[in-house]
Amino acid sequence: MIEFDHVHKAFGDHVVIEDLSLRVADGEFFVLVGPSGSGKSTLLRTVNRLTHIDRGRVLVDGKDVATQPIETLRRGIGYAIQSVGLFPHRTVAENIATVPRLLGWSKRDIDARVAELIDLLKLDEPGMAERYPDTLSGGQAQRVGVARALAARPKIVLMDEPFGALDPLTRESLQASVKAIQRDTGTAMLFVTHDMDEAFLLGDRVGLMLDGRLAQVGTPLELIRSPADDRVNEFVGGTRAYLRELAVRNVRDSVRRDEHAEGEPIPAQSTLQEALGAMLAQRRDRLPVEGGGAILLTDIVARPR
């Protein structure tokens, strides 16, 4: 668990984080979202002490990070950033192995973990493990950065706008990979983004930061349906918020088991947004759902109360 207890941080006269308290549970994917300068990246960096706070406490598993040896603290926390920061003179495999090697893992265990992550993050081109960072595409380099953050099986991974510089297709692929890995491993993720769609796609809960404070914390649906004030409503989309709601609700929650439909079936785990797109592509107002039943256009456009 990560706990921020009345955290305050200022740079000179500029307050970046103001008396902020928050708990991130074990195994939770928590996303901090907000505009540039809202304090979200600064808050994330207090966890591994890349930024030191002026007042309050930051705790990991109940221990104040300020009291822990900094090398021990950082080796137990995965960290991935937009600029990646791969070591240029180390191969992909050597970059991924950095923290396990520092922790004294055996060569056999390191090699097995590197191979596992190369597979999980779809870095499976022939010879990938022996390549150097300057031979990688932006998406490949970012995947290696994520693999390095996960290599030592940390209980916590910090991710600071890791996909911001990627093209949309690569970004979507990496988002799906990271979400699947987090779900399968139960790793606690603290993820920073300025993109509300990314926040709602990935987060179990989302914290909207404005002017160094948490304007609202909740599930994506809670922020969309019950914004705390006008500013939150504006950031989640205002009158367009319902379109974002379609991206966070699943077909399985609206499937009609006793209905039948013609057309190409869609997976039950698809979002309603994906179902609407499939209906438009197939020019149908209902579609069959894999595993039985159907989804109707009227169920998509009728917002539940």
Q: What are the distances in angstroms from CA 220 to CA 53, 212, 249?
A: 29, 20, 10
Mean pLDDT of successive 10-residue stretches along the chain, which has 305 residues: 96 94 96 94 96 96 94 92 84 94 94 92 88 90 91 93 83 89 91 93 95 95 92 86 86 90 91 92 93 90 66
CB 148 within 8 A of CB 96: yes
pLDDT for the residue 65: 96
pLDDT tens digits for 198-237? Answer: 999 999 999 999 999 999 999 999 999 999 999 999 988 8
| Gap between the Cα atoms of 22 and 207, Å rounded | 9
Where in the chain does DSSP place strands (E)? Answer: 2-11, 14-24, 29-33, 55-60, 63-64, 77-81, 156-160, 188-193, 205-210, 213-218, 286-288, 294-296
- Would the pTM of this model clear 0.85, i.e. be above it? yes
Of 28, 20, 14, 24, whose CA–CA distance to 57 is shortest? 20
> How many DSSP H helices and E strands does the chain contain?
13, 12
**pLDDT on residue 82:** 77
Q: Which of 174, 169, 113 is nearest to 142 (CA)?
A: 174
Place of tokens 């993109």: 195
Tell me the pLDDT tens digit for each residue of 7-33: 999 999 999 999 999 999 999 999 999
- Domains by residue range for the chain, with CATH: 2-240 (3.40.50.300), 249-301 (3.90.1280.20)
Contact 116, 73 (CB under 8 A): no
> Distance between alpha carbon 80 and the CA centroid of its chain, in Å?
11
pLDDT at 305: 52
